Amino acid sequence: MNTNNTAVIILNYKNYQDTINCITSLYEFSSKNSVTVMVVDNNSGNDSLKYIKDAFAATYNVADCEVSAKQQTPGTNIYLIQNLNNTGYAAGNNIGLKVGYAMGFKYLMVLNNDTLFIDNALEKLQKTLDSNKDVLCVGPLLLKRDAKEIDYNCAKRRPTVTDIFRLSYFGQWMKNDAWRAEYYYMKRNPGPDKPIKVDIISGSCMFFNAEKFNNIGFFDDNTFLYYEEAIIAEKGLAKGYHMMLDPTTKVIHLGAQSTKTQSTSLFTLNCEYNSLKLYLTKYRKLSWLKTNIILLNNALFIKAFKLKSK
């Protein structure tokens, strides 16, 4: 049995310095005896885990961890898990999540390594989660690099077909202020002073009830990038669970640092297309015909990109 209730899973891919900064900020506001960090390296190939271990070995108990681990090593603050393949966001995080669940943690946090803590977010999120029994996970108010401007992706509505078109490359011209005010909760109401239920919170910082997360089967390994939060929202709804935003706690989201090193733009375009197709067919239960009509915009853009790249 673990010695504390919370495991924070951080996925690392190449940019270990962001991971080091993230962990440093986390422990600045949380006791090392109250939270355990699990870093999953997605086959970076640059000795990331060595650099992370060297950065914390003098201050914290850092231990290598096997994917098959079922019990916590007493006194360990940071576990390092080496994934032998780059399996993407969902499957990579699932490695740490399943280890954390097997070790008996009550709470599991999924945290991007391009985030920085500026308050005792874990304590606040835990209290909010415990106070709302039908909530699967809670997210903080995300701020941009300046720690003032809101990252509106922290809370979004369940996307409609029109939303999906607007979010595609050919639909950018339709993303006006009126639509943003409807799609993004914090654009609509930037000053809530208490937690609110929302459709989807950002995957950059998600605080879960471990038992409920296990009950829905964690992330869907069939996505590499994109739409993971939307899929989690649908899996949760199927079990009667909801998501919640707690604007009383804040976390800085520096930007898309965790995906900046992906090999090609064509690769990420295809990832988005495949994830969206999975989301629409498996989780939104749309027909093959309707799904392909919705995806036509994305497919045409990918074809145009390929022609331009030749």
SS3 218: coil
The pLDDT score that the predictor gives to residue 310 is 75
pTM tops 0.85:
yes
Domains of the chain: total: 1
pLDDT at 43: 97
For residue 232, the domain's CATH number is 3.90.550.10
In a domain, residue 33? The reply is: yes
Q: Please tell me the predicted confidence (pLDDT) of residue 3.
A: 54
Q: Which tens digits make up the pLDDT trace of 291-302?
A: 999 999 999 999
Q: d(Cα 207, Cα 111) in Å, to the nearest integer?
A: 9
Q: What is the pLDDT of residue 170?
A: 84
Kindly state the percentage of the chain with pLDDT values over 70: 96
* 28-71 residue pLDDT tens: 999 888 999 999 999 999 999 999 999 999 999 999 999 999 99
Q: Which helix (H) or strand (E) holds 17?
A: helix 16-28
**14, part of any domain:** yes
Q: What is the DSSP string of 86-143?
A: --HHHHHHHHHHHHHHHTT-SEEEEE-TTEEE-S-HHHHHHHHHHT-TTEEEEEEEEE
Residue 262's pLDDT is what? Answer: 42
Q: Does the residue 1 lie in any domain?
A: no
Domain hosting 205: range is 6-309
CB-CB contact of 174 with 166 (8 Å): yes
| Residues of the chain predicted below pLDDT 50 | 1-2, 256-263
Q: Residue 47 corresponds to which tokens in the numbers above? A: 């000795």
